[in-house]
Structure 1
Amino acid sequence: MSSVPLAQRAGGPDLARGLALLGIALANTVGWLHGEQWTVLLKQLDTTAVDRAADVLIALLVDNRGFPLFAMLFGYGIGILHRRSRERGEAPRRFVLRMARRHLALLAIGLAHGILLFSGDILVPYAIIGMLCALLVSRHRLALPLAGLLALPALGLWGWADATIGLGQGSGYAAASAPDYLTSLKIRTGSALRGALLAPVEDIGLLAPMAIGALAARVRLLEEVAANRDLLVPLTRWGLGLGLLGAVPLTAVLVLDPAHAVLEGERMLGMLGVLHQLSGLLGALGLAAAAALLAERVRRREAAGVKYGELLRGRAERGIEALGAVSLSAYVAQSLVFLALFPPFTLDLGSRLGTAGAAGIVLLSWLAMLPLAAALRRSGRRGPLELLLRALAGSSTLRETAAAGAATAVRGERP
């Protein structure tokens, strides 16, 4: 199956993916910092005022918001592929087989990432739960929404764990504090293999945001913005508002009672964690809608002849959108950067920095990738891991690109 050329991709989903990459990287700083006991949301218990301020911002805007947004967009992509499959009259069995090969390839990339680089990999569970989403979307129209609804309690359990894990003696991921790379490799290998085996149970909560994304793709919610504006505008307002409101209670615990002197029991903290997690799903939906509206506004202004793309805001939007188009490569590249900086066997910044310092590195890394992604888009090229995924999945895109290049050469035209 051929893919949509980069120039014809819907801007909203890519813009949201680019923002989600920043959110996931900020949330993943807990996977690199080590040596200090955890409190709620896996933040450090004893820290400076600046670090706690960064904790608060991340807890309100990022934690339990970035990964459901990414999962929702992942499901949206599955929904688009299924929609195109039906438009071509393809048999459901053929669609499922293609999805199986694609998700198996993503699983292989995810295992390599989880073993070699980062023990908090999300590609493996996305591949496994994403395949389940692809199976369900090809069945009865009610199968996927019902399954997504049933998966909501499992998603809430993640919030419970994030709120209560600090009641123990957690002080960082084991691989993050390993004294050498081989030791960290051994830890990550066991963790990645165990995670892959248990993903159908432990990560089934991902099906909820994926189902929302796949269902949204049925009505082209993030693609046909003008037709869906009456829905996108309230989704933006209510989604972002309720998402922020739902994050306040657990964030207040982080500020006022990080040592759990008042809220000693697990039950109340767990309930606040569930609220934080489920409200993050609403926030993710609101941000996806906002990204679609913003991307469409930029395109309208450019089509009207306004030199919007020459302004800083326009260039930033296009850069983030370009980064979202190479999100797989960017996600793994972030881990390469952090592996070079945070473990004890490199610069050991994981034991020297708090949340603020780590967040600064994350932001600088993300900003540095924007012009690189924009350059790839201008040249009509995809990211290296996007190309690898397509090759492993048997996509016809590479063959079609090669054929087009050969035809251009024969005609004597510039590529």
Structure 2
Amino acid sequence: MTLEARALGPDLARGFMLLFIALANSHYFLRGSSVLGGYPRDGSGVDAAAIWLISTFVDGRAFPMFGLLFGYGVAQIVRRHEELGPRRVRRLLWRRAAVLVVVGFLHAVLLFAGDILAAYGVLLLLGAWLVRWKDRWLLLTALLFFALISLPSDGSLTISSDPPGASMLPPDVATMVVERAKTSAFVSLFGPIGFITPFAVGLWAGRRRILEQPESHRALLRVTASVGIGAAVLGAQPISLMLAGVVTPPDQPTLEVLGPLHDATGTLGGFGYAALLSLIAARVQARPRPVVDAIAAVGQRSMTCYLAQSVVWAAVFTPFLLDLSDTLTVTTTAVLAVMTWLVTVLLASWMRRAGRRGPFEALIRRVTYSSTGSRPAGPPSPPSPSSPDTVASSRL
């Protein structure tokens, strides 16, 4: 598929999602006299405001959006290759999953212990069986796992008081490899449990082409955007105000309720963000849109841009490199995250104009379609801002 044939909505959502992921990931590297929810608690008033903003609008909201878009893209792959038959499509998805697992593991060990690519690879190994499920079973599965993540638990990152460990800030290369390998294995095996709900909903939405044909689903998208984002903002407040130092942390049993509440409403927020960006894409579809196209270019190269962020985190925070975990604050780290995202926007926009795919997108396509004979040949042409997009993305 050439990039000019891609729908704007899913790519725009992916592009913005990577800004949120940068903000969500970077503050977990910071040290402090005490840490709660990944935030040092000894910052300034400006830091407290930044903590409130990020924990309200970003933390626990970006990754459900990632999962929704991942499932949506899988549904697009299945539809485009339906003529291959269920078995060959399943093998195609398994090859894609294998690339995610391998690249994700290397990413975790060499750059960033919080990698999610391997977890999504494992999810796709299992999810390849879900693509043939009827809609009602997909939605019931999504509802079941949503209920599970809503149960009281001390496993939410939003209530963790652990400082960054050796896997995040390794003192040397040997420790880095050993600790991150263990962390990657743990996240890959248990992470998919929390991603099943958005993945299943994404499969359901992808079958209906909801994000790529927003004009036909405007009412649903508006309700999803308003209810999802509203629930995410309201549901975040007990934790966000606590993390910002506005209210005193409650006792542990209460925290074990509030943490999952933050996470569960964040899943709804991820759905809401995807719906909102799809509606925005519909409004700007026929207009000149250099900024929108640049952000969508990030979405078209999301795997490459995601990995590029980790190069920055590794260089800036690793103790045997720049080691700025004690120097940067929540605010300056957020600025670093935004600047990193902006650099990937410029890089992706340049590749779009040059008609080039991201290197990791090219890799995953080459492996995925190696034996199907259906892989599009040659690099894509730069998309025309005025041409309507009618086919959805099938990539991360």
TM-score, length of structure 2 as denominator length: 0.89
Letter in 2 for 1:280: G
The answer on 1:389 being equivalent to 2:364 is: yes
1:51 partner letter: D
After superposition, the Cα gap between the structure-2 partners of 1:371 and 1:257, relative to the gap in structure 1 and judged at 3 Å, is closer
Q: Which has the higher helix share?
A: 1
Match of 2:66 among 54, 67, 70: 70
Q: In 2, are the aligned partners of 1:31 and 1:120 still within 8 Å (CA)?
A: no
Mark the structure with the bigger radius of gyration. 1
Report Cα offsets for 1:363-383 as digits up to 9, x if no partner.
111111112111212222210
Pair 1:174-2:166 in alignment? yes
Query: What is residue 257 of structure 2 aligned with on the other side?
Result: 271
Matching residue within 112, 130, 138 for 2:106: 112
Is 1:13 aligned to residue 10 of structure 2? Answer: yes
Q: Does residue 368 of the first structure (1) align with residue 343 of the second (2)? A: yes
Q: Choose 203-212 or 235-244, whichever is displaced more.
A: 235-244
C-alpha contact 2:357 2:379 (8 A) present in aligned 1: no
Q: Which amino acid aligns with 2:167?
A: A
Residue in structure 2 matched with residue 162 of structure 1 by the alignment: 157
Contact conserved, 1:137 with 1:143, CA < 8 A, in 2? Answer: no
Alignment of 1:2-401 (within 5 A): 4-39=1-36, 41-86=37-82, 88=83, 90-156=84-150, 161-166=156-161, 170-196=162-188, 198-199=189-190, 202-256=191-245, 260=249, 263=250, 265-300=251-286, 302=287, 309=288, 314-395=289-370, 400-401=376-377
When the two chains are superposed, the root-mean-square deviation of aligned CA atoms in Å is 2.3
1:400, distance to aligned residue in structure 2 (A)? 4.0
**Cα distance, 1:255 vs. partner?**
3.0
Q: How high is the TM-score relative to the length of structure 1?
A: 0.85
Note the residue ranges of structure 2 that are not aligned, 5 or more in a row. 382-396
Query: Residues 32 and 254 (structure 1 numbering): CA distance in 2 closer, same or farther, change over 3 Å?
Result: closer
Change (3 A) 1:403 1:336: closer
Conserved 8 A contact 1:45-1:258: no
Question: Taking structure 1 as reference, are residues 131 and 142 closer, same or farther at Cα in structure 2, changes over 3 Å only?
Answer: farther
Q: Read off the aligned partner of 1:33 and give its amino acid letter.
A: L
Q: Tell me the CA shift for residue 160 of structure 1.
A: 5.0
SS in 2 for 1:381: coil
Is the contact made by 1:35 and 1:172 (CA closer than 8 Å) also made in structure 2? no
Q: Deviations 1:219-246 (Å, cap 9, x if unpaired)? A: 1100111111122122222222222111
Asked if 2 retains the 8 angstrom alpha-carbon contact of 1:36 and 1:172, the reply is: no
CA contact (8 A) 1:163 1:270 kept: no
Report the number of matched residues: 379
Structure 1 residues 82, 349: CA separation in 2 closer, same or farther (over 3 Å shift)? same
Question: 2:192 is aligned with what amino acid?
Answer: D
Tell me the residue number matched to 1:413.
none
Q: Percent identity?
A: 37
C-alpha spacing 1:226/1:254, structure 2 compared with 1 (3 Å): same
By how many angstroms is 1:97 displaced? Answer: 1.3
Instruction: Determine the C-alpha separation between the residues in 1 that align with 2:62 and 2:227.
Output: 17
Deviation at 1:345, TM superposition (A): 1.0
Contact 1:334 1:365 in 2 (8 A): yes
